[in-house]
Amino acid sequence: MRVYPAFFNLIFSWMDPELAHTVGFAGIKLARRVGLGRVLHRLTRPDPGNEVHVMGLTFPSPFGLAAGFDKGATGTHALTDLGFGHVEIGTVTGQGQPGNPRPRLFRLVEDRAVINRMGFNNDGAEAVAPRVASALQSLAQDAARTHRARPVVGVNIGKTKAVGLEDATDDYVRSTRVLAPYADYLVVNVSSPNTPGLRQLQELDALRPLLRAVREEADRVTSWHVPLLVKIAPDLADQDVLAVADLARDLGLDGIVATNTTIARDGLGLRSDAQDVIACGAGGLSGAPLRRRSLEVLKLLRGHVGEDLVLISVGGATSARDVIERLDAGASLVQGYTAFLYEGPFWAARINRGLRRAARRTSH
């Protein structure tokens, strides 16, 4: 019997969503501080047979935690104790910023969805970089002790709100300069709907010089190849999705993260009362209603690029079956976030068990 759904209904569902996130994340970090992390990891760690090798990296599991949960690398190791094969930090901006005014996070419980307009609240690249370095060192020590693959840590970078679009490239380069030496991979986020004007950077004339500059800076400040991906919105028209894919190949990027949250409300089959949805206001919607479009974009991309690019599929993945569906459709890796809020701390472990059972059935 699963205890967390009852706990969520009794405690978290009545709590302000952002406060619930803070409390839940604090509990995860506390478990590591009091010595429960190793115990948890023995219960949740992926099977070695689930390892995935992409971008020159070994991922203990194809399933990881999307950007947005651990914005400041304050609990990265604790999150991997729960079974995530990778954790994507961020979004991190060149300058620290408080984000948008509260309330800025809303649940649509009937839809297993969330609407957020957080606005890249984070401490800034200079503050986050040493935390990422510390997390990597701690994870490497655990991996050496257990003779298991180290969980991968990606870093997602975005534009500082106070920086104008004309200076966006310099802002991304600033974050790259500070964070690339500590990132297993970098993701350029130009697709959040919560920073004014940001999605204009998905237009090819703006995106090409931005991505080229980030790639050059990452190469300049490291002696190795840091994989670079771009994260796109599900709201792009199909032809624009393909145009970004062609640009990624042309620039020698390693992959695409598809997709971010959606600004759409219609056509998602939402069960929540329409007035409740309207009351949430503007922001990106994530969770189960995004599943269909995210899968469409994944199939569109894989059919277009063949094996040329790594594709990280994110949006609406809830179960092991969903993850397997994405992998079968061509995803190199799969990420989740919103379902974590509804499924609880052993969500990744359940998905890893499902992947292990599926692999065993296939092998037989």
Q: What is the DSSP letter of 49?
A: G
Contact by Cβ (8 Å): 184, 154 = yes
For 158-204, the pLDDT digits (tens) are 999 999 999 999 999 999 999 999 999 999 999 998 898 889 989 99
In sequence order, the 6+-apart residues with CB closer than 8 A to the CB of 178 are 125, 126, 129
pLDDT in tens, 12-38: 778 999 999 999 999 999 999 999 888
Q: Please tell me whether 9 is known to bind a ligand.
A: no
Q: Higher-confidence residue: 10 or 354?
A: 354
Report the DSSP beta bridge partners of residue 57. 54
Sequence-distant (≥ 6) Cβ neighbours of residue 208 within 8 angstroms: 247, 251
Confirm whether residue 194 is marked as ligand binding: yes
Average pLDDT for 75-83: 97
Split at pLDDT 50, 70, 90, the class of 361 is confident
Is 12 known to sit in a ligand binding site? Answer: no
Range of the domain at 351: 4-363
Burial class (CB in 10 A: 0-12, 13-18, 19+), 359: middle
Tell me 47's DSSP state.
Answer: P
* Listed residue (112, 221, 120, 225) closest to 174, CA to CA: 221
Residue 100 in marked binding region: no
What is the C-alpha separation between 290 and 269, in angstroms, rounded?
10
CA distances, 88 to each of 58, 284, 326 (Å):
15, 18, 18
Q: Is 287 annotated as a binding residue?
A: yes
- Count of Cβ atoms closer than 10 Å to residue 255 Cβ: 25
b/e string for 40-69 if b means 16 or more Cβ within 10 A?
bbeebbbeeebebebbebbbbbbbbbbbbb
Following DSSP, what letter does each residue of 269-338 receive, concatenated? ---S-HHHHHHH-SSEEEEGGGHHHHHHHHHHHHHHHTTSSEEEEESS--SHHHHHHHHHTT-SEEEE-H
Q: What is the CATH number of the domain that holds 30?
A: 3.20.20.70
Per residue in 292-316, pLDDT tens? 999 999 999 999 999 999 999 999 9
On whether 160 is known to bind a ligand per the annotation, the reply is no
Active site residues: 192
Radius of gyration of the chain measured on its C-alpha atoms = 19
Task: Return the axis-axis angle of helices 168-179 and 125-146, rounded to nearest 10°.
Answer: 40
Tell me the three state secondary structure of residue 61.
Answer: coil
In which residue are the tokens 């203990």 written? 60
The answer to whether residue 205 scores a pLDDT higher than 70 is yes
Domain count, the chain: 1
Phi and psi at residue 17, to the nearest 5°: -55, -40
Q: Over the range 134-165, which residues count as b (16 or more CB within 10 Å of their CB) and which as e?
A: ebbebbeebbeeeebbbbbbbbbbbbbbebee
pLDDT at 169: 97
Rounded-to-integer distance, Cα 186 and Cα 227, Å: 6
Q: What is the average per-residue pLDDT within 342-356? A: 95
Residue 144: in which H helix or E strand, if any? helix 125-146
Residue 1, pLDDT > 70, answer no
316: annotated binding-site residue? Answer: yes
How far is Cα 73 from Cα 69, in angstroms, rounded to an integer?
9
Both tokens assigned to 292: 């269909």
The answer to whether 271 is a known ligand-binding residue is no
Per-residue pLDDT, averaged over 227-250, amounts to 96
Instruction: Dump pLDDT digits (tens) for 99-145.
Output: 999 999 999 999 999 999 999 999 999 999 999 999 999 999 999 99
DSSP assignment of 84-140: -SEEEEEEEESS-B--SPSP-EEEEGGGTEEEE-----B--HHHHHHHHHHHHHHHH
